[in-house]
């Protein structure tokens, strides 16, 4: 079920297609887990992206433990995995914790095209 914290959405198998794949704008999806230290480390970065790009990008998080079929569908084998979507397709994948600048660069590139 979808929950909103500021501009960051928490999505699952029931609303992923509507929120992410059918979004008229690009989407950032953070596949993570509560037990994952690096996931907790990048959480403020993902929240910052949600706030900073709120008018241009959908930003969502998916808990892989609560949504194993969704994680399997996108081949998530390691967390955190952050995927950039546009037009319902995966355009870029970041595996492992990355800097805010790397995520921003990927997003900016996606928004230009």
Which one from 29, 36, 45, 60 is the annotated catalytic residue? Answer: 36
Contact 45, 100 (CB under 8 A): yes
- The active-site residue, picked from 7, 11, 27, 39, is 39
Q: Which two tokens stand for residue 63?
A: 């808990």
β-pair partners for 82? 30, 94
Q: Residue 82, SS3?
A: strand
Is 12 noted as a catalytic residue in this protein?
A: no
Give the Cα-Cα-Cα angle 24, 112, 55 (nearest 5 degrees). Answer: 45
**14 is annotated as an active-site residue:** no
Active-site annotation, residues: 36, 39
């Amino acid at each position: 079920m979808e929950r909103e914290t500021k501009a960051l959405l928490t999505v699952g198998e029931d609303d992923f297609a509507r929120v992410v794949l059918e979004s008229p704008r690009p989407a950032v999806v953070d596949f993570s887990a509560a037990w994952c230290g690096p996931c907790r480390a990048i959480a403020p970065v993902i929240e910052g992206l949600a706030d900073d790009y709120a008018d241009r990008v959908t930003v969502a998080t998916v808990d892989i433990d609560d949504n194993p079929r969704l994680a399997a569908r996108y081949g998530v084998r390691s967390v955190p995995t952050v995927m950039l979507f546009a037009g319902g397709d995966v355009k870029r994948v970041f595996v492992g914790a990355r800097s805010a600048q790397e995520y921003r660069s990927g997003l900016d590139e996606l928004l230009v095209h």
